Amino acid sequence: MDINSENLANDELISSNLKQDNEVVVVIVPLQAQGHLNQLLQFACLVSSYGLSVYYVGLAKYNHQAKVRANALNPWDIAKIHFHDLPSSPDFASGKVPTIWDGCMLLRIRESIASFLHDISCKARRVVIVHDVLMSYNVQDVSSFHNAESYIFNCGSSFDMYCSHICTAAGLPIPLEAEQLKRMPSLKGCYPDEILHVGRLQSPYTGIKAGDIYNTSQVIEGSTYLDLMAQLASIQNKKQWAIGPILPTKLDHISNRDNICLDWLNKQPPKSVLYVSFGTTSSFSDEQIKELAMGLELSTQKFLWVLRGADEGVLLLELEDLSCRKDLRKE
């Protein structure tokens, strides 16, 4: 069964359910990058647990990636989510996969999402779109549907959102002591030009939102920046929720490898292990990896190194913890 036929069958089934219940439908639109896919899938499962129909919308390869790497989620919870695969371009289908920052791909995604929202809005009493902040451009057409509203899901911290975006755009002060401000690293050079370009594309459309959702809490960050963001939301007549952490607290479905790493960590003294990770989209040459490994070994510091490789150009392989296995052999 091809993607379009599978989506058609899935949509017919959901359409039948919607007609019976006249219900609210939640549409999740993640950025097509693993760290964002994972958080939005966790959120989708959380919302679905309240009995709502939830669609998870993305390109087929990324939807598949989100499902196969959701190690901490209950498979039964994932089965309740309706994954809608957006049509792929001929280049994408042939294996010439464009990056998530490709402007042409972003335009194609916008058109496909708008078409999907039109279909859903005709079937449901109310449609709620929850999208990654970096997908604001792609969901801008939500304002065309009278029974739909959108909320931005922020994968980063409220501190990052306030300091990196709000302060930069509005020139607001950062509530830190002078000495702390001096120690803050600059954002200059942190992002490639194509990412900055995509970020700028979002700005005209973030105001369409009805509110913001943060994957954080006061226990994690304290109240300072959440309160500042709440004040700004109030001025803009928007809503705000801090609902994190949404990662399941009861991990019944983790792999044996994960258990081994956790068992090892539990044997270490507090604050004695260095966690090393360069995120979900970075890549290193063999020489760079060897240099990092040598530096970690010479440091004599216990460490947990999460090292990711590339898969077909943009998709990432499963996490592979090299340093944990090494230290386990020493135990």
Dig out the tokens for 329 from the structure: 């052999």
CATH architecture of 3-242: 3-Layer(aba) Sandwich (3.40)
Residue 252 among the catalytic residues: no
How far lies 284's CA from each of 62, 181, 193, 310, in Å?
A: 22, 31, 19, 9
Q: The whole model's pTM is what?
A: 0.71
Tokens 């490639």, located at residue: 192
134: which DSSP letter?
G
86: β partners: 59
Closest listed residue to residue 28, CA positions, set 53, 49, 3? 53
Residue 36 among the catalytic residues: yes
| pLDDT attached to residue 262 | 84
pLDDT in single tens digits along all 331 residues of the chain: 455 554 555 555 555 555 545 589 999 999 988 889 999 999 999 999 999 999 999 999 889 989 988 877 888 999 999 999 998 765 554 444 455 556 556 667 899 999 999 999 999 999 999 999 999 999 999 999 999 999 999 998 887 777 766 665 555 566 665 566 566 666 677 777 777 788 888 889 999 999 999 999 888 888 888 888 888 788 788 999 999 888 766 655 555 555 788 889 999 999 899 998 887 666 677 788 888 888 988 999 999 887 765 433 332 333 344 444 444 444 4
| pLDDT attached to residue 323 | 42
Dig out the tokens for 154 from the structure: 């922020």
Dig out the tokens for 102 from the structure: 């490709």
Tokens 């440091």, located at residue: 299
- Torsion angles phi and psi, residue 180, rounded to 5: -65, -40
- Rounded to an integer, what distance in angstroms lies between the CA atom of residue 122 and that of residue 128? 13
Q: Which amino acid is at 264?
A: W
> Is 283 in contact with 310 (CB distance < 8 Å)?
yes
Q: How many CB atoms are located within 10 Å of the residue 234 CB?
A: 11
- Choosing from 36, 82, 84, 131, the catalytic residue is 36
Separation of CA 227 from chain center: 23
CATH 3.40.50.2000 fits 256-330, yes or no: yes
Dig out the tokens for 32 from the structure: 């097509």
- Rounded to an integer, what distance in angstroms lies between the CA atom of residue 31 and that of residue 155? 10
| pLDDT attached to residue 125 | 94
Q: Where are the beta strands (DSSP E) in 87-172?
A: 126-132, 148-154
Separation of CA 248 from chain center: 15
Question: Can the peptide bond before residue 245 be classed as cis, meaning omega within 30 degrees of 0?
Answer: yes
Closest listed residue to residue 170, CA positions, set 161, 178, 182, 179? 161
Chain region(s) in the chain for CATH 3.40.50.2000: 3-242, 256-330
- Rounded to an integer, what distance in angstroms lies between the CA atom of residue 66 and that of residue 33? 9
- Choosing from 11, 77, 132, 212, the catalytic residue is 132
